[in-house]
């Protein structure tokens, strides 16, 4: 099987752990994000043994926040790592740019949502709703994009011409 | 405490803002600014309440246009565990919170100075300073205004009841068969609209007092900037050797109760259950999330630090490797 730029990069020492952590973070974020809607109890998810916590809105909220902490750390790590170590040999693919644009949307709306939740910070009702719906929208688009890219095997990076 | 002073100071504040704004109808943020940039809080002096329910009636009258008018028959819900909550035929219920009753009186018979006495406690939304209902609402249907009022937008609410679950007092109440969910997936998502006290936000916008405060023949309630209200509450508590509820509960609320007996005692004496909130101490429900929010500020720096460490190690290893090659040449 032909190795993509991504698999070559991920194969580097330590990167596999980061990639797995990133995937796990997204699974946690997506699950607890959907758990912000009152659906897990309604649709029996919390009845599954060991899943009772999923109906606790504070639990899913804390875990979602923890996931966000991890995601922000991983994004910063990956950005610096790429800019310093990989940029000369690899460039971002179109799929990578789409991922980054959607990620930026998720992160920015998420940051505003967290700010809104702090005491003493009040957004207008319209802005609050826009942020909520945009956050959900970016997330749905990101998931859709990741599924499409998995199908088309489009990674984040492509080798620069003459880079390899 | 002269309640007229409270009313006067409140109106003075809003009128001052009207002067600044040059408008007769004040937008809410202006009202809040008029109150010295502070949130507006209400003070409920339990001693004064005689349980006449004039506030309950006034609330019903003034807010009737906001009450739900559900369409029947209600859509069949899937899965079947989702139950219809219908108060439309019981809209005159006044002994608990319902979608049609946003304030009610709890009676507590307690011993005071060796004598039994019944105290009356008007109960409604506490209007938390950091309301979990607004913070955790997934749609932004529940929200807090700058003047300290927490509202639910009935045009947007899907009636998932999350706000009721996360409210330490389980205040919001649901009415099925009304609202946006009917236009979306009525059988599979949503179940109506949540209702609760909005502290007559529209009257406040116009510089008027909330109906429950205006109508009260005993002047049980006062409204004003939170700091001022807290000062008054402490002054009364000092005078009567009494107790305060709402100053610290759930991190602070904009409804401050003053009582001549401890709230644990009142809590024991009141009837509790669905639509009948407790008077127990409440920890700050959003505190842990707020701390995690601080961690989000640190996280990118930690990520950058980890990357720099890795880059340094990589450069060092590459240097060693190249030095090894040079030595072998």
**DSSP class per residue in A19-85:** HHHHHHHHHHHHHHHHTTSTTTTTTTGGGSTT-GGGG-HHHHHHHHHHHHHHHHHHHHHHHHHIIII
pLDDT at A42: 93
Of B132, B139, B295, the CB nearest to A69: B295
Here the tokens at position B137 are: 């609402």
Measured at the CA of B139, the angle between CA B71 and CA B42, to 5 degrees, comes to 90
**Chain-chain contact of B300 with A73 (C-beta, under 8 angstroms):** yes
Q: How many Cβ atoms from other residues are within 10 Å of residue B265's Cβ?
A: 17
Q: Which residues of chain A have pLDDT under 70?
A: 1-13, 162-164
A65:B296 CB<8 A: yes
Best interface-test mutation with A: which of B307, B311, B316 has the largest number of A CBs within 10 A? B307
Question: In chain B, what residues touch A122 (CB-CB under 8 Å)?
Answer: 144-146
Contact B308 A80 (CB under 8 A): yes
Helix (H) or strand (E) holding B115: strand B115-123
Distances (CA, A) of B316 to A89, B116, B321, B322: 19, 81, 8, 10
The per-residue pLDDT for B4 is: 40
Q: How far is CA B268 from the centre of its chain?
A: 23
User: DSSP letters along B40-83, please?
Assistant: EEEEEEGGG-----HHHHHHHHHHGGGS----SSPPPPSSTTS-
Q: In angstroms, rounded to a whole number, what is the distance separating the alpha carbons of residues B252 and B129?
A: 6
Residues 114-133 of B with CB under 8 A from A: 129-130, 132
- pLDDT at position A45 is 95
Contact B227, B254 (CB under 8 A): no
- Distance, in Å, from the CA atom of B19 to the CA atom of B34, rounded to the nearest integer, reads 10
Q: Encoding tokens for residue A81?
A: 């790592």
Task: Give this complex's ipTM.
Answer: 0.86
* CB < 8 Å to B82, chain A: 42
Q: Kindly state the DSSP code that residue B98 receives in the 8-state scheme.
A: B
Q: How many residues does chain A have?
A: 164
Structure tokens at A120: 């003493």
Is the Cβ pair A76, B161 closer than 8 Å? Answer: no
3 state DSSP class of A128: helix
CB-nearest to A62 from B129, B130, B292 is B292
Roughly how many angstroms between the first and final C-alpha of chain A, as a whole number? 18
Q: Is A152 helix (H, G, I), strand (E, B) or coil?
A: helix
Q: Which residue is closest to B83 within chain A, CA to CA?
A: A42
Assign residue B207 a region: left if phi > 0, alpha if psi is -120 to 50, beta otherwise? left
Q: Identify the pLDDT of residue B61.
A: 97
Nearest C-alpha neighbor of A137 from the set A147, A149, A145, A125: A145
Sorted by sequence, the CB contacts under 8 Å of residue B34 that are 6+ apart come out as B13, B14, B16, B17, B26
A74 to chain B: which residues are within 8 Å by CB?
A: 303
Q: How far apart, in whole angstroms, are the C-alpha atoms of residue A146 and residue B110?
A: 63
**Interhelix angle for A57-81 vs A94-117, to 10°?**
140
Q: What is chain B's pLDDT, residue by residue, as a tens digit (329 residues)?
A: 344 444 444 444 443 343 333 333 333 334 444 455 789 999 999 999 999 999 999 999 999 999 999 989 998 888 988 899 999 999 999 999 999 999 999 999 999 888 999 999 999 999 999 999 999 998 889 999 999 999 999 999 999 999 999 999 999 999 999 999 999 999 999 999 999 999 999 999 999 999 999 999 999 999 999 999 999 999 999 999 999 999 999 999 999 999 999 999 999 999 999 999 999 999 999 999 999 999 999 999 999 999 999 888 888 887 777 666 655 55
Question: Which of residues 116 through 135 in chain A touch B, CB cutoff 8 A?
Answer: 116-119, 122-123, 125, 128-133
C-beta of residue B223 within 8 angstroms of C-beta of residue B203: no
Contact B255, B124 (CB under 8 A): yes
Please give the Cα distance from B100 to A134 (Å, whole number): 33
* Chain B residues lying within 8 Å of A44, measured CB to CB: 79
Element (H, E) at B10: helix B3-21
Distance of residue A148 Cα from the nearest chain B Cα, in angstroms: 27
Is residue A83 within 8 angstroms of chain B, CB to CB? no
Distance CA B6, CA B3 (A): 5
């Amino acid at each position: 099987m032909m190795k993509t730029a991504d698999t070559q990069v991920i194969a580097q020492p330590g990167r596999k752990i980061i990639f797995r952590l990133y995937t796990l973070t997204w699974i946690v974020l997506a699950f607890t994000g959907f758990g912000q809607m009152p659906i897990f109890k309604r649709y029996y998810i919390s009845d599954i043994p060991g899943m009772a916590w999923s109906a606790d809105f504070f639990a899913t909220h804390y875990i979602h926040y923890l996931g966000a902490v991890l995601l922000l750390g991983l994004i910063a790590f990956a950005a610096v790592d790429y800019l310093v170590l990989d940029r000369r040999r690899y460039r971002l693919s179109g799929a990578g740019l789409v991922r980054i644009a959607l990620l930026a949307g998720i992160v920015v709306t998420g940051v505003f949502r967290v700010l809104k939740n702090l005491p003493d910070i009040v957004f207008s009702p319209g802005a609050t709703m826009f942020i909520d719906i945009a956050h959900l929208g970016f997330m749905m688009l990101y998931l859709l994009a990741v599924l499409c890219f998995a199908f088309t095997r489009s990674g984040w990076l492509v080798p620069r011409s003459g880079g390899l | 405490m002269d309640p007229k002073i409270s009313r006067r100071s409140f109106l003075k504040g809003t009128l001052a803002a009207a002067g600044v704004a040059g408008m007769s109808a004040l937008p809410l943020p202006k009202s809040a600014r008029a109150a010295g940039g502070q949130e507006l809080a209400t003070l409920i002096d339990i001693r004064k309440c005689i349980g006449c329910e004039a506030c309950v009636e006034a609330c019903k009258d003034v807010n009737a246009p906001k009450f739900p008018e559900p369409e029947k028959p209600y859509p069949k819900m899937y899965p079947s565990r989702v139950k219809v909550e219908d108060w439309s035929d019981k809209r005159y219920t006044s002994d608990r919170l319902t979608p049609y009753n946003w304030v009610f009186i709890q009676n507590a018979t307690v011993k005071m100075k060796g004598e039994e006495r019944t105290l009356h406690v008007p109960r409604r939304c506490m209007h938390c300073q950091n309301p979990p209902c607004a913070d955790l609402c997934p749609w932004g249907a529940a929200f807090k205004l700058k003047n300290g009022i927490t509202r639910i937008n009935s045009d947007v609410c899907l009636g998932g009841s999350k706000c009721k679950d996360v409210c330490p007092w389980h205040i919001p109440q649901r009415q099925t068969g009304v609202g946006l969910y009917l236009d979306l997936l009525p059988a599979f998502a949503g179940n109506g609209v949540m209702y609760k006290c909005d502290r007559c936000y529209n009257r406040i916008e116009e510089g008027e007092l909330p109906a429950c405060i205006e109508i009260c023949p005993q002047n049980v309630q006062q409204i004003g900037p939170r700091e001022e209200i807290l000062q008054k509450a402490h002054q009364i508590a000092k005078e009567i050797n009494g107790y305060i509820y709402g100053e610290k509960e759930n991190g602070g609320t904009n409804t401050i109760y003053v009582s001549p007996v401890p709230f644990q005692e009142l809590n024991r004496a009141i009837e509790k259950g669905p639509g009948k909130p407790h008077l127990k101490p409440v920890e700050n429900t959003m505190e842990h999330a707020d701390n995690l929010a601080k961690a989000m500020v640190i996280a990118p720096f930690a990520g950058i630090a980890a990357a720099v460490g890795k880059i340094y190690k990589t450069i060092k290893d590459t240097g060693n490797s190249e030095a090894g090659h040079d030595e072998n040449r």
